[in-house]
Amino acid sequence: MTDERRKFKREPAEARKEALILATLELVAENGVRGATVRGIAQRADVTQGLIRHYFSSKEELIIAAYEHHMNQMTDLTFAPGAAAGSARARLRAFVDGSLTPPVVDPRALALWASFLNKVQNDPQMKETHQRTYAYFRDRLEALIAAALEEAGHPAPAARLRQLAIACNAVIDGLWLEGGALPDAFAAGELVEIGRQSVAAITGLDLEQEAET
Amino acid sequence: MTDERRKFKREPAEARKEALILATLELVAENGVRGATVRGIAQRADVTQGLIRHYFSSKEELIIAAYEHHMNQMTDLTFAPGAAAGSARARLRAFVDGSLTPPVVDPRALALWASFLNKVQNDPQMKETHQRTYAYFRDRLEALIAAALEEAGHPAPAARLRQLAIACNAVIDGLWLEGGALPDAFAAGELVEIGRQSVAAITGLDLEQEAET
DNA sequence: GGAGAAATTATACACTTGCATAATTACGCG
DNA sequence: CGCGTAATTATGCAAGTGTATAATTTCTCC
C-alpha cells in the first residue's frame, strides 16, 4: 500500500495510437497543421509528449496517419447510407443525402480539409491519398449517374457522363463547403433539398418520386 | 566616391506596404499562415525583418491586411468582366465565366483560401471581411438570376430565387475548388462550359444563345 | 552641402518548437 | 512474489519564432 494511485496506465498500442490520432485531428481542425504542436496533442490525449515519439517516429508520420484516418472516415460516412438501396436512383439519392448531412457537412470537417490542403499539395504520400479518395468519389458518382440514366431509359455517352459527374460533384462539393463554412445559414434539410434538385436539374433525372413502374 | 553602392533604397510607404503584402500572400499560399514567418516574408520582399514592424504593428495586422487585399482582388477579378455587359443573361454568363477562368481559378487562390480559413473562423475582423465578401457574391448572383429570369419572362418568387442562388453559387464554388485543386484534370474552357451548362440546367435559362428577339 | 527626420538595418531576448535521450513506472510471467 | 521488458514520463537541447530596441543609412529641405 505504498501508493494507491498509479502515475499512469498502460494501454493497448492500437487504442493509444487512435487516441493520439483523434487528439491530432482535434488540434489540426482548431489550429491548423503547424498549430497542432506535439505538446498540445499530448496534452489533449492526456499523455506526455515523449509518448508520441514512441508510437510515431515523427510528427510528420502522425499527421499523415491522422489524415488517412480522417479520409477513410469521410468516405465511410458518405457511402454507408446508400449501400443497401435497390434502384440506381435510390442509391444516387442516398449519395447526395449522405454527402450533405452531418457529420459530413460540418465546420470541423471543412476546417480539417482546409488545414490539410497545403500538406496534401506538397507531401507525395498525402497527395496520393487525396487523389485516390477524390477519384473514388467521382468514379462512384459517375457510375451512379450512368446507372440511373440507363434505368430511366436515357443512357448517355461517356463524354457527357464525365461532364455530368463533374457538375454534380461540384454542386455537392460547393454545398458541402458552404454548409461547413456557414452552419447557421441553412435550415435543417435545406442543403439536401437543394442538392437533390440541382442534381436532378443537371442530369434530367427525377430523384424525388418513388418507383415509376 | 566613398562607396558607390547604397546599402538600401527608400521606397514610398504604400509601395513598401504592398510589396510586403504580396510577399506575405506568396508565403501564406506556400506554407500557410503559421508557415509564413516574419523572417521569410522579409526575405521574399528583399528587406530585413525589422522593417515589417515599422509598417505593421504586428504579424497579425500584416496577415489581416494581406487577407483583405486578396479578397478585394478576387472580387474585382470576378466582377470586372461583366460590368459592361448589356442583358442580364450576358451579365450572368460573364459572372460564370469570370469565376471559372484563371486567375480566379488557380491553385494559389485555392491555397490562400484554405490557409486563411482557420483564422477567418476565429478572428472577428477577418470573419467580418469574409462574411461581407460572401454575402456580396451571393446577393449579386441572386440579383443576376432574378433579372435574367424576368428578362426571359419567367420571374420566380423570393424563396425559389434564394434556392437557385445557393445552388448556382455552389456549383460555381465546387468547380472553382476542383479547378484549383486539380489544375491538370480539366481542359481549357472545360470548367466554363460545365459551369454554364449547370447554371442553365438549374435555372432553366439558356445561357449559350445570343439575343432571342 | 549639411542637419534633421524618417526609413531601414542590426542585434538581442524570451519563448515555443520538434526531437533525442535518460530515468521511471506498470504489468505479465515464471 | 519479484524480475524483466516495454510503456510512459522527465529532462534537455538546438533551431526557429515574434517582438522589442538600438544603431545606421538615405533623402529632403534650407
Contact flag B194-A34 (C-beta cutoff 8 Å): no
Q: Is the pLDDT assigned to residue A6 strictly greater than 90?
A: no
> What mean pLDDT do residues A173-187 have?
95
Chain A hits for B202, CB-CB cut-off 8 Å, are 197-198, 201-202
The overall average pLDDT reported for chain B is 93
> What mean pLDDT do residues B183-195 have?
95
Residue B30 binned pLDDT confidence (cut-offs 50, 70, 90): very high
pLDDT of A2: 41
Contact flag B198-A167 (C-beta cutoff 8 Å): yes
> For the segment B96-117, what is each residue's pLDDT rounded down to a tens digit?
999 999 999 999 999 999 999 9
Of B111, B121, B178, the CB nearest to A121: B111
Q: Which residues lie closer than 8 Å to A177 by C-beta, 6 or more apart?
A: A110, B170, B173, B174, B177
pLDDT of B4: 58
Residue B79 binned pLDDT confidence (cut-offs 50, 70, 90): confident
Chain B hits for A142, CB-CB cut-off 8 Å, are none
What percent of chain B is modeled with pLDDT above 70?
96
pLDDT of A65: 98
Among B92, B87, B10, B83, CA closest to B51: B10
> For the segment A18-74, what is each residue's pLDDT rounded down to a tens digit?
999 999 999 999 999 999 999 999 999 999 999 999 999 999 999 999 999 999 999
What percent of chain A is modeled with pLDDT above 90?
87
> What mean pLDDT do residues B85-106 have?
93
Chain A hits for B25, CB-CB cut-off 8 Å, are none
Q: Is the pLDDT assigned to residue B3 strictly greater than 60?
A: no
- The answer to whether B181 and B205 are in contact (CB under 8 A) is no
pLDDT of A86: 85
Chain B hits for A171, CB-CB cut-off 8 Å, are 167, 170-171, 174, 198
pLDDT of B213: 42
Alpha carbons B120 and A20: distance in angstroms, whole number: 27
Least confident of A2-16, A27-41, B80-94: A2-16
Q: Please tell me the number of Cα atoms within 13 Å of B49 on its side-chain side.
A: 8
Alpha carbons A138 and A135: distance in angstroms, whole number: 5
Q: Which residues lie closer than 8 Å to B209 by C-beta, 6 or more apart?
A: none
C-alpha cell of A57? 517516429
B209 touches strand D (CB under 7 A): no
| Eight-state DSSP code of residue A212 | -
Residues 37-56 of B with CB under 7 A from strand C: 47-51, 54
Interface of B with A (CB under 8 A): 30-35, 107, 110-111, 113-115, 117-118, 121, 131, 134, 163, 166-167, 169-175, 177-178, 181-182, 186, 193-194, 197-198, 201-202, 204
pLDDT of B2: 42
> For the segment A86-103, what is each residue's pLDDT rounded down to a tens digit?
899 999 999 999 999 999
Chain B hits for A181, CB-CB cut-off 8 Å, are 117, 134
| Eight-state DSSP code of residue B2 | -
ipTM of the complex: 0.91
Closest CA–CA distance from residue A1 to any residue of chain B (Å): 49
Please report the domains of chain A, with CATH numbers, ordered by start residue: 10-57 (1.10.10.60), 67-203 (1.10.357.10)
- The answer to whether A175 and B171 are in contact (CB under 8 A) is no
Q: Which residues lie closer than 8 Å to B66 by C-beta, 6 or more apart?
A: B21, B24, B25, B28
pLDDT of B210: 59
Nucleotides of C under 7 A from a protein CB: 7-11, 16-22, 25-27
Q: Which nucleotide is nearest to A49 (CA to C1')?
A: D9
What Å value separates CA A13 and C1' D1?
28
| Eight-state DSSP code of residue B189 | T
Contact flag A107-B117 (C-beta cutoff 8 Å): no
B51 touches strand D (CB under 7 A): no
